């Protein structure tokens, strides 16, 4: 894939016609001495955004708001076949490819196959993610050599870089899937065991108890209930018998109370029958004799008469008490006979009730058995689910280990590929730094994470000023020169790559780009500022400056007026916010 021309439907726009081979410079020059004028914001970086726009980037609100009515066209070539994409600022959800309107998704799918050979979609491996490796889209894309898209997460970054370095991405995808599955299994397993709502579904009572203990208790309970249900005899007249038994119990209670009262009465009568006169007439005579008092015959006779009268009274009382006692004893005998009879009847009823049951009782017992069995089934399901999750967790760990072993073997088998990438990178970096070790390392990541490989581009003492920019340049060119899984033939760098760099390194970049582009039929597109040109003019010979700068300039943007900016008008566009 090569870029041929970027143009618009407005005459004020400065068309960019890219050189088909070699370097193409978009130059921001200083043409006035007015200190208020500047060659910054003349459209160098905007040209990159517009190329992405014509290659189905996400919607850019600023274009719709401030460039209404504009249409942008990009002519490009893939394997000798020319294409033209057109996209309007007012209707950004579609794009035209060779005058045919298609959705952004269809455009991306088509380009993914044509440019990167992606026939079967792989999540996170897209035309947009891959093309950004050859035309870094934003300012943040230059912060680090591997940060083509700043928002890109580690796994998508590794996936895309691995693909362009010729590595087997099925291994990258596999480890990511294993990690996702491991996290999912672990998370669900933890929730099932720890979440109170989840546990209560399986264990309505005692949710915090040990499952094994709960299962054993339920099994014992079910055995008892099952036996009771099996031995249960349903009596159709159970309720009637129970009512009769209740009536007998009430009657017995009343009779026993009566019997108890009669016994108390008999005991009282017995005590009364034991009562005797306190003093006899003889005791009275002896009392007076001892006092030496002589009682007259009349008094003695009176005493005897009184004593006889009292005796008669006591005899009558005793007779009445005995008669009353006999009556009570008769009543008690009759009541005890009734108690004995009712007791036998009650025993018969209770024995019958103990060996039989009502339908309601049977139903209740059967329901309790069913509930217990359901609880046991849920607990067993819970136990099995926890076991399955733990087993799967261990199986995934084992798969991690197996994949680690297989990856070690795989890396051993692709030593030539790894060596080729190292040599490409070294051949570039050695032209900047003499005697500094450099290369791209590809190692197996054995951790329990999403990343299959650890890929690092290294230049000795790479914390020094300008080293990151050189490393970025070399890494991008390694992807281009390797030609693994793509047919991209260009790199488009923004001036941010070189604006703060040593002019000697910038000169080396241009020399490498010129040589490699001519040799391999590549394009190297670069936007560059006047300040960098001034430094390069001192660093390069006249012949080199002419060959690398003057002869490769395809567009000049300057500070003379707004008409000399890329759009030909003055606008403050926040086009980096998608």
Q: DSSP letters along 50-94, please?
A: HHHHHTT----HHHHHHSTT-EEEEEEEETTEEEEEEEESS-TTE
Contact of 111 with 56, CB cutoff 8 Å: yes
* CB neighbourhood size of 353 (10 A): 16
Q: pLDDT tens digit string along 297-344? A: 677 677 677 666 666 766 777 778 888 888 888 888 888 888 888 888
Q: How far apart are the C-alpha atoms of 297 and 318, rounded to whole Å?
A: 31
Residue 566 pLDDT level (bands cut at 50, 70, 90): very high
Instruction: Return the SS3 of 557.
Output: strand
Tell whether the model's pLDDT for residue 43 goes beyond 90. no
Per-residue pLDDT, averaged over 76-95, amounts to 97
Q: Are strands 2-8 and 16-17 parallel, antiparallel or unpaired?
A: antiparallel
First to last CA, the chain: 25
Mean pLDDT of the chain: 87
Structure-block tokens of residue 414: 């692709």
At how many degrees (to 10) do helices 415-429 and 467-482 cross? 130
Residue 565 pLDDT level (bands cut at 50, 70, 90): very high
Could you give phi then psi for residue 122, rounded to 5 degrees?
-125, 125
* CB neighbourhood size of 177 (10 A): 14
Tell whether the model's pLDDT for residue 216 goes beyond 70. yes
Q: How far apart are the C-alpha atoms of 528 and 44, rounded to whole Å?
A: 8
Residues ≥6 apart with Cβ < 8 Å to 107: 56, 85, 95, 97
Q: How far apart are the C-alpha atoms of 378 and 572, rounded to whole Å?
A: 66
pLDDT value, residue 574: 80
In angstroms, how far is CA 534 from the centroid of its own chain? 56
Per-residue pLDDT, averaged over 45-57, amounts to 97
Contact of 482 with 520, CB cutoff 8 Å: no
Q: Which residues pair with 490 in a beta bridge?
A: 523
pLDDT value, residue 371: 81
Residue 279 pLDDT level (bands cut at 50, 70, 90): low
Q: Is 502 exposed, middle or buried (0-12, 13-18, 19+ CB in 10 A)?
A: middle
Lowest average pLDDT, out of 70-74, 133-137, 233-237, goes to: 233-237
Long-range contacts of 118-125 (CB under 8 A, 24+ apart): 122/159, 122/169, 122/173, 124/155, 124/156, 124/159, 124/160, 125/156, 125/159, 125/160, 125/163, 125/169
Backbone Cα Rg of the chain: 55
Residues ≥6 apart with Cβ < 8 Å to 143: 150
Instruction: Return the SS3 of 136.
Output: coil
* CB neighbourhood size of 236 (10 A): 10
Tell whether the model's pLDDT for residue 206 goes beyond 60. no
Q: pLDDT tens digit string along 337-370? A: 888 888 888 787 677 666 555 667 778 878 888 8
Lowest average pLDDT, out of 64-68, 89-93, 244-248, 506-510, goes to: 244-248
Per-residue pLDDT, averaged over 486-505, amounts to 95
Tell whether the model's pLDDT for residue 386 goes beyond 80. no
Q: How far apart are the C-alpha atoms of 390 and 182, rounded to whole Å?
A: 10
Tell whether the model's pLDDT for residue 284 goes beyond 70. no
Any idea what the Cα angle at residue 85 is, between residues 139 and 137, rounded to 5°?
10
Could you tell me which residue, 105 or 43, shows the higher pLDDT?
105
Any idea what the Cα angle at residue 539 is, between residues 538 and 544, rounded to 5°?
105
pLDDT value, residue 190: 73
Tell whether the model's pLDDT for residue 508 goes beyond 60. yes
Could you tell me which residue, 404 or 251, shows the higher pLDDT?
404
pLDDT value, residue 169: 97
Tell whether the model's pLDDT for residue 235 goes beyond 90. no
Tell whether the model's pLDDT for residue 236 goes beyond 90. no
């Amino acid at each position: 894939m090569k870029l041929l021309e970027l143009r618009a439907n407005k005459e004020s726009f400065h068309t960019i016609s890219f050189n088909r081979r070699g370097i193409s410079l978009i130059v921001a020059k200083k043409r006035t001495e007015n200190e208020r004028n500047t060659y910054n914001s003349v459209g160098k970086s905007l040209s990159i955004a517009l190329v992405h726009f014509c290659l189905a980037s996400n919607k850019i609100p600023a274009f719709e708001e401030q460039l209404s009515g504009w249409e942008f066209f990009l002519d490009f070539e893939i394997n000798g076949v020319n294409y033209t994409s057109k996209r309007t600022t007012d209707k950004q959800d579609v794009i035209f490819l060779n005058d045919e309107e298609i959705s952004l998704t269809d455009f991306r799918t088509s380009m993914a196959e044509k440019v990167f050979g992606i026939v079967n979609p792989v999540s996170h491996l897209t035309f947009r993610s891959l093309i950004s490796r050859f035309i870094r889209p934003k300012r943040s894309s230059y912060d680090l050599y591997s940060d083509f898209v700043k928002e890109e997460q580690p796994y998508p970054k590794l996936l895309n870089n691995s693909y362009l370095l010729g590595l087997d991405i099925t291994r990258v995808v596999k480890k990511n899937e294993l990690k996702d599955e491991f996290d999912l299994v672990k998370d669900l397993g933890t929730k099932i065991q720890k979440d109170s709502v989840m546990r209560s579904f399986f264990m309505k009572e005692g949710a915090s108890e040990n499952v094994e203990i709960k299962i054993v208790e339920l099994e014992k309970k079910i055995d008892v209930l099952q036996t009771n249900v099996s031995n249960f005899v349903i009596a159709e007249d159970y309720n009637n018998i129970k009512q009769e038994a209740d009536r007998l119990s009430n009657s017995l209670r009343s009779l026993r109370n009566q019997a108890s009262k009669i016994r108390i009465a008999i005991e009282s009568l017995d005590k009364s029958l034991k009562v005797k006169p306190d003093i006899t007439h003889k005791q009275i005579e002896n009392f007076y004799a001892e006092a030496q008092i002589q009682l007259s015959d009349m008094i003695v006779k009176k005493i005897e008469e009184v004593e006889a009268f009292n005796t008669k009274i006591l005899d009558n009382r005793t007779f009445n008490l005995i008669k009353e006692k006999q009556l009570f004893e008769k009543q008690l005998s009759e009541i005890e006979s009734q108690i004995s009879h009712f007791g036998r009847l009650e025993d018969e009823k209770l024995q019958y009730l103990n060996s039989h049951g009502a339908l309601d009782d049977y139903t209740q017992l059967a329901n309790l058995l069913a509930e217990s069995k359901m609880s046991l089934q849920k607990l067993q399901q819970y136990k099995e689910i926890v076991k399955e999750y733990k087993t799967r967790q261990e199986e995934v760990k084992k798969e991690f280990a197996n994949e680690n072993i297989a990856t070690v073997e795989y890396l051993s088998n692709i030593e030539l590929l790894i060596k080729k990438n190292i040599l490409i990178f070294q051949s570039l970096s050695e032209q900047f730094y003499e005697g500094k070790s450099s290369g791209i390392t590809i190692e197996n990541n054995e951790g329990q994470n999403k990343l299959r490989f650890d890929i690092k581009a290294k230049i000795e003492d790479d914390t020094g000023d300008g080293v990151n920019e050189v490393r970025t340049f070399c890494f991008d060119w390694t992807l281009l020169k390797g030609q693994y899984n793509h047919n991209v033939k260009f790199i488009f760098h923004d001036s941010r790559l070189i604006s703060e760099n040593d002019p000697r390194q910038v000169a080396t970049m241009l020399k490498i780009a010129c040589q490699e582009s001519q040799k391999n039929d590549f394009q190297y597109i670069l936007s560059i500022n006047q300040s960098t040109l001034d430094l390069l003019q001192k660093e390069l010979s006249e012949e080199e400056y002419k060959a690398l700068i003057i002869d490769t300039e395809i567009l000049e943007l300057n500070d003379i007026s707004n008409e000399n900016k890329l759009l030909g008008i003055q606008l403050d566009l926040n086009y980096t916010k998608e």
